[in-house]
Amino acid sequence: MFRPRVIPVLLLKNNGLAKSVNFKDHRYIGDPINAVKLFNNFKADELVFLDIYASKEKRLVSLDFVKKVGEEANMPFAVGGGITSLNDIKAVLNAGAEKVVINASAVQNPSFIKEAANTFGSSTIAVCMDVKKKFLSKEKKVFTINGSKASVFSPVDFAKKMEELGAGEIIVQSVEKDGTMSGYDLELIKQVSGAVTIPVVALGGAGTLAHLKQAVIESNASAVAAGSMFVYHGPRRAVLVNYPSRQELNTLFS
C-alpha cells in the first residue's frame, strides 16, 4: 500500500530551531539536534532542514551542523540554505545529507539545476518554491530571499521548468499559509501537481492530520511536510516536538 511521506521541516536561524508565521516573527524554539533525537524515536519518514538566512547572508548552511545531524539522524534528511555551486552540493552531501534543497539559486540561475542533476542525479536535487501573491495583485509568483523578492515565474511555469532541467522533486511552500496551521493552499498544490510528473511536496499551513490527507487526496501531493504542526501543541502553541504514529498514518491514508 502506498503511503505518502510525512516530513517535518525544521527552520534554522543561527543554528537554532526557529518557527515563523508568513515568513516573519521568527521564534526560537530549541535545539535542532535534540529535535532530531525525538524524531528518531517517532520514526519520522524524513527530515528537511532549511537555513532561512543563508542566501540573504550569502553563505552556505553550516557543514558542521549537517555533520552533527548526519551522526544523529536515523532517517534520510535534506538540507537547504545558500547552495549556489556544485562544490556546495558536494560538501553538503559529503557531510551526510541525502538530498539538497535549492531555492534562490534555482530562480536566479535555472541552468544550475541542470548542472546539479547531471552531476549528482535527479534524486539528490529538490527545489523549494516559495509562493505568494504579488503586492496589490491576485497573481501568485515564486519568491526568493525569505519571500521578499518576486521572480517572473508563476508556480506552474517554474515547476515545469525545474522538471525539464532535472529536479527530482518540488517542494511547494505557501508563504501566506506559513505557520498559520489553517490548512494547505490546496488549489496551488493541485495546480503544480497537475503540471509535473515528479513528486510534489506540500508545505505551508498544515495543522491537523486532516490537512495532510486533504493535500494528498484532493490536491494529489506526493508527500506532505509541515513545521508548526510537529513542534507545537495546543492553542497556546506550547513547544512540544511530536509526530503521528505509523498506525495513525497508515489509517489516515488508507
Closest CA to 104 of 80, 139, 79, 134: 80
CB 55 within 8 A of CB 148: no
User: What is the C-alpha separation between 232 and 235, in angstroms, rounded?
Assistant: 9
User: What is the C-alpha separation between 22 and 20, in angstroms, rounded?
Assistant: 6
Query: In the annotation, is 45 catalytic?
Result: no
Q: How many CB atoms lie within 10 A of CB 90?
A: 13
User: What is the C-alpha separation between 27 and 253, in angstroms, rounded?
Assistant: 32
Please say whether the dihedral angle defined by the alpha carbons of residues 143, 12, 184 and 24, taken in this order, is positive or negative.
Answer: negative
DSSP assignment of 119-167 = HH-GGGEEEEEEEEEPTT-S-EEEEETTTTEE-S--HHHHHHHHHHHT-
User: What is the C-alpha separation between 211 and 244, in angstroms, rounded?
Assistant: 13
CB 58 within 8 A of CB 66: no
Q: Which of 45, 88, 130, 178 is labelled catalytic?
A: 130
Active site residues: 130
